[in-house]
Chain A
Amino acid sequence: MFETTSFSFPLSALLIPFGLFLLFILLYSAFSLYHLLRFGVPSKQLVFVIVLYIIGSTLVLWVSTSLLLTYTWNAPVTFTEFTQDVPTFPL
């Protein structure tokens, strides 16, 4: 029968869906930016919002990356470690 204790996966596997999600964000940001630049009437407000969006996104990515770099990504994660890692709260 399937043994949960022997099941393991590298922690870096979590980065794959995150990477796909980032690609989605990048694509849709580009679509939105294209529409604004192609069809929008140029104005200071538009420039301000675009710059704000780029700065905000960069900031979130920078902080996330800084935090993520502190973890050991090549360590394997077993099912036992996962269940032990989840915090339990007293009833």
Chain B
Amino acid sequence: MDLQALPNHKPGERVVLFLRRFWFELAKIALITLVLFGGPIIGIGIFWGSIGPILERPFLGPILTLIASAYLLSVWLFAFFEYTDYYLDTWIVTNERIINIEQHGLFKRVASELHLATIQDVTAEVSGLVHTFFDYGDVYIQTAATKTRFVFKNIAHPEMVKNTIIRLSDEDKVRHGMMNIGEEKTAPKETVL
């Protein structure tokens, strides 16, 4: 996907924020893979004295080798799947709209967008010791609909993201004549992640 050529690109539209889940999610995948992949390998290495003779048996040796190979390949593929899911979940905030792209498994991809002028409420939530220490959490974006439209899950600096979206929304409303100049809320300077 080319960030410079978003679908339904409007004149003057530019990407302000490009968001993914916090790197902790990636670290979790890496850690689990390390344990599931490396653990048995280390175990085989430590207990090679006992396992070696079993692998030399004419029937048990081949079947255990096949099972071990299948297990390691499965773990590796699982890790790749999880990374694909992490990498393809993105939230793109431009000066006109928010694009929410979520990958559910391999064969389901949901992409939706909402225009900044329709936003009525933005909430940032940071909950828990780890989330607070590393400053990551969720951002909920509400339009006039009764159901919460978008949820940015486990993103870095949710408070800054919230303030940026509110500011962009107000500027968009002024541009479209939905708000008078001077009524927009003040917000911190724009920071591109």
Contacts and interface: CB of A to CB of B under 8 A. Distances in A.
Contacts of A11: 58-59, 62
Contacts of A18: 66, 69-70
Contact of A29 (B55, B68, B70, B77): B77
Given A14-B63, A67-B55, A41 B90 contact: yes
B109 interface: yes
Range class of the B interface residue count: 35 or more
Contacts of A38: 1
A53 to B, nearest CB: 5
Contact of A35 (B60, B66, B103): B103
Nearest to A83: B59
Given A77-B59, A81-B59, A29 B109 contact: no
A67 B65 contact: yes
A87 interface: yes
B106 A28 contact: yes
B76 A53 contact: yes
A2 interface: no
Interface string A41-56: 1000010010001001
Interface string B128-155: 0000000000000000000000000000
Instruction: Indicate the member of A14, A15, A29, A71 with the most B CB atoms within 10 Å.
Output: A71
B48 interface: no
Nearest to B101: A39
Given A25-B73, A41-B18, A57-B76, A71 B87 contact: no
B16 interface: no
B113 to A, nearest CB: 15
Interface of B: 1-3, 18, 54-55, 57-63, 65-66, 68-70, 72-74, 76-77, 79-81, 83-84, 87-88, 90, 101, 103, 106-107, 109
